Structure 1
Amino acid sequence: MTEKIATSFSNYLQSDASIYSGRRSREQQYLHEKIHCLDLRKDIVLETPKEIKKYALAGYLCDEGVRRNLGRVGAANGSQVVRKVFGSMANHLQENTHLLDIGSIRCTNQNLEQAQDEMATLIFQLHKHNIFPIIIGGGHDLSFAHFRGIKECYPDKKIGIINFDAHFDLRNLQTVGNSGTPFNQIAKRFKTIDYLCLGINRAANIPQLFQIATELEVQYIEDYEFTIYNYEAIKRMLDRFINSVDYVYVTIDMDGFSAAYAPGVSAPSAIGFSVDIVLRVLKDICVSKKLISADIVEFNPLFDIDNRTAKLVSQLAYFIISQSEKA
């Protein structure tokens, strides 16, 4: 079966193949040599057997939700910077792993809701074609769209959300959504939510958010406990959560990391978690074979230092691909 994915998206931008440049080799030793850029308005996406794994990078060029939430705007430009860094890395992926860049969904005229609707449709289409999405944001409002797309494709499955974040993002919807409301919106739309949040900073979440988390039976670990030294306790909670759901969607908010690792974010963390525990937990999630979708959000290149955050985002995306292709 062959099919075009994007036929009516008004906010779609095709991928820019010129971003992927650098040293050349004859054996695809760099990721920019392996990645294949598609224009979804023109190119046909082929159905492939499940044993051939396909991963699609896409951008969410939107920080309207961050602006509404009074954060530092600039994350809309994050995916373009990440793509360039990502392509420069050495390629250790399996030969039969297909790596695609399928372009971006952008927000125009501050119409966050339209951008979310189109991203949800794109996520649905990717899953329909057996393609693993890795979306680079943009604000965390992406999660409302991302989850909707997954749930539309698997309506009868229990989808668990694992969020690496300093914030619950469970704020009540006052008038319109923003980067602080996505998981509350998910809970209200689907009448329930299976949600594990890793790295909560108590100083960055008002008491009402802890109350909402309790009411929704959200599981969470605070930042001072989310460390490699507490790994065994974290692993027990993680295993229980994964075993209770059919599939897992991972979202990584870069502002959850200590600003020492990730200075280029919408809302920097004075404490934050470190890279080692995130990689350890991500590997466990991939080994479970239940991970089907991922995104990385809130990277703001306007405030980055020496591409430090861009490199971390790129390596996190690469790590998710490399670990899940082995599962």
Structure 2
Amino acid sequence: MSNYKLADKANWKGRSSNQQLYLHEKVQLSSIKESFTATNTKTIALLGYSSDEGVKRNLGRVGAAMGPDAIRKELGKMSNHLSEVAQLVDFGNLECENQDLEKLQNDLAKAVSFLLESDTMPIILGGSHDLAYGHYIGLAKHLKNGEKLGIINFDAHFDLRANTNGNNSGTPFYQIALEHEAKNEAIKYMALGIRKDANTKDLFEFAEKHKVNYLLQKHFGINYLEHVQLRLIQFMEDVDYVYTTIDLDGFSSAFAPGVSAASPMGFAPDVVLESLKLIIDSGKLLGVDVVELNPTYDIDDQTAKLAASLIHYIIHRL
């Protein structure tokens, strides 16, 4: 993979303690081009998807290619509460060469398969949301015959746009839905935080046709937590594994100004954290990603810190 860049220790800085009190002291660096053996069952693998080609094709504001390293810089400063035997490993970045987004998605699928075969939990850092297609395909290769992989997407958008003119950040779940349709299977997809002002009526019609589970943003809040939890439980009961993807543009711009498509009308971190708790505690989480961080438009690194805090919560809850 000529589009692969090794992990850079310069992205991991912070206070020094000599006791691994901070994550930059805990993290290890490795490569997807070399064999890797996890030393325990709680090995977390970080891999960056350093591309915003999909956002550009979707007529969004570019800058998300810088997202993975921005997340690392904030995550490294955070306190380390992992056990001594737990591993946190940075496997570097995949980049988009020659605007070839389709190749990048295929390379990500291969990399995710490698991480799973190495007994690690992949956490993909984005980067535009088109990474979801490659991430899903890589996870799906890990399934045994008959096993079902469900998608839980925290997002303002369905990302079910047709890829007639090529793949982009708005097409990943459309691509997945069509693959399932070709096999006479229904996509197992739940979207939380959908906004009517951010999705056209034909996207709602496509979602209904393919039996997509979704909650509108007005019903995805801490005041509706019991309902949210019930819907999540019902969805997860019908699948063997869960792929979770967190699009930062689903959050209100009060929390996440630095994204590809910002809006004040999004959800808050509290309901996402409660939902993640339920997902992780189910024991079905197979892979997770955080996408659409755009450092160009961030304010005081607020969005990068939000992304890092979400990952911090996930790795310590696992």
TM-score normalised by L of structure 2: 0.96
Q: Residue 24 of structure 2 contacts residue 77 of structure 2 at CA under 8 Å; is this kept in 1?
A: yes
Is 1:242–2:236 an aligned residue pair? yes
Select the residue among 104, 107, 121 that pairs with 1:132: 121
What is the aligned partner in structure 2 of residue 282 from structure 1?
A: 276
Deviations 1:102-138 (A, max 9, x none): 0111001111011111001000111111110111111
- Distance in 1 between residues matched to 2:37 and 2:250, nearest whole Å: 37
What is the aligned partner in structure 2 of residue 181 from structure 1?
A: 171
The secondary structure found in structure 2 opposite 1:57 is: strand
Q: Residue 48 of structure 1 contacts residue 130 of structure 1 at CA under 8 Å; is this kept in 2?
A: no
Select the residue among 281, 305, 311 that pairs with 1:311: 305
Select the residue among 293, 299, 320 that pairs with 2:293: 299
Is 1:40–2:32 an aligned residue pair? yes
- Distance in 1 between residues matched to 2:117 and 2:49, nearest whole Å: 20
Q: CA deviation at 1:174?
A: 1.3
Deviations 1:85-109 (A, max 9, x none): 1101010112221100001110011
Pairwise mapping of residues 212-251 of structure 1 onto structure 2 (< 5 A)?
A: 212-251=206-245
Is 1:85–2:74 an aligned residue pair? yes
Q: CA deviation at 1:164?
A: 0.1
Is 1:23–2:12 an aligned residue pair? no
What is the aligned partner in structure 1 of residue 248 from structure 2?
A: 254
Residue 249 of structure 1 aligns with an amino acid whose one-letter code is Y
Q: CA deviation at 1:19?
A: 1.8
- Distance in 2 between residues matched to 1:66 and 1:18, nearest whole Å: 27
Q: CA deviation at 1:190?
A: 2.8
The secondary structure found in structure 2 opposite 1:153 is: coil
Is 1:72–2:66 an aligned residue pair? no
Q: Residue 37 of structure 2 contacts residue 119 of structure 2 at CA under 8 Å; is this kept in 1?
A: no
Deviations 1:36-75 (A, max 9, x none): 011333x4411545xx311011110111110000001000
Is 1:263–2:253 an aligned residue pair? no
**Number of equivalent positions:** 313
Q: CA deviation at 1:21?
A: 2.1
Is 1:14–2:12 an aligned residue pair? no
Check 1:172–1:155 CA distance in 2 against 1; reply closer, same or farther (3 A cut).
farther
Q: CA deviation at 1:176?
A: 0.7
What is the aligned partner in structure 1 of residue 314 from structure 2?
A: 320
What is the aligned partner in structure 1 of residue 205 from structure 2?
A: 211
Q: CA deviation at 1:145?
A: 0.4
- Distance in 2 between residues matched to 1:64 and 1:19, nearest whole Å: 23
What is the aligned partner in structure 2 of residue 6 from structure 1?
A: none
Q: Residue 32 of structure 2 contacts residue 114 of structure 2 at CA under 8 Å; is this kept in 1?
A: no
What is the aligned partner in structure 1 of residue 151 from structure 2?
A: 161
- Distance in 2 between residues matched to 1:195 and 1:160, nearest whole Å: 6
Q: CA deviation at 1:22?
A: 2.3
- Distance in 2 between residues matched to 1:140 and 1:19, nearest whole Å: 22
Q: Residue 65 of structure 1 contacts residue 112 of structure 1 at CA under 8 Å; is this kept in 2?
A: yes
Is 1:196–2:182 an aligned residue pair? no
Residue 31 of structure 1 aligns with an amino acid whose one-letter code is L
What is the aligned partner in structure 2 of residue 273 from structure 1?
A: 267
Q: Residue 50 of structure 2 contacts residue 96 of structure 2 at CA under 8 Å; is this kept in 1?
A: yes
- Distance in 1 between residues matched to 2:143 and 2:3, nearest whole Å: 25
Moved beyond 2 Å, runs of 4+: none
- Distance in 1 between residues matched to 2:174 and 2:288, nearest whole Å: 19
Structure 1, gaps ≥5 residues long = 1-8
Select the residue among 90, 94, 100 that pairs with 1:111: 100
What is the aligned partner in structure 2 of residue 4 from structure 1?
A: none
Q: CA deviation at 1:230?
A: 0.5
Deviations 1:207-247 (A, max 9, x none): 00000000110000000110100011111110000111000
- Distance in 2 between residues matched to 1:131 and 1:276, nearest whole Å: 27
What is the aligned partner in structure 2 of residue 151 from structure 1?
A: 140
- Distance in 2 between residues matched to 1:184 and 1:45, nearest whole Å: 33
Deviations 1:270-319 (A, max 9, x none): 21000100000001111101111000001100000000000000010111
The secondary structure found in structure 2 opposite 1:108 is: coil
- Distance in 2 between residues matched to 1:106 and 1:151, nearest whole Å: 22
What is the aligned partner in structure 2 of residue 5 from structure 1?
A: none
